[in-house]
Amino acid sequence: MRIKTHKNFEKSFLKLPLKIQEKVKKTIEIFKKDPHESQLDNHSLHGKQKGQRAVSVGGDIRIVLLEENNYDTVELLNVGTHTQVYK
């Protein structure tokens, strides 16, 4: 799996508290091993974000992503609270 990060993801990630940044990093590692791990709650989005997916970091924090070719390539688009990423 090849993981790319969008500039919006990078900006949002740097605004997160360090403790949450560490959780995000751990979540990405779990995702790399198995994108369908149940704790990630990997699900497709609809509406304006149709075609994108989201995984749960824990609590109210989500990572929004775009996957291609059955997770061969993944672009991390955004990270933040439910309200921040689903606007």
pLDDT digits (tens, 9 = 90+) for 40-85: 999 999 999 999 999 999 999 999 999 999 999 999 999 999 999 9
Q: In which domain, by residue range, is 17 found?
A: 2-85
- Overall number of domains in the chain: 1
pLDDT digits (tens, 9 = 90+) for 14-37: 999 999 999 999 999 999 999 999
CATH number at residue 53: 3.30.2310.20
Compute CA distances 7 → 14, 34, 39, 48, whole Å: 11, 24, 26, 19
Average pLDDT for residues 1-19, to the nearest whole number? Answer: 97
Exposed (0-12), middle (13-18) or buried (19+): which is 2, by Cβ within 10 Å?
A: exposed
Helices of type H across 1-87:
7-15, 18-33, 82-85
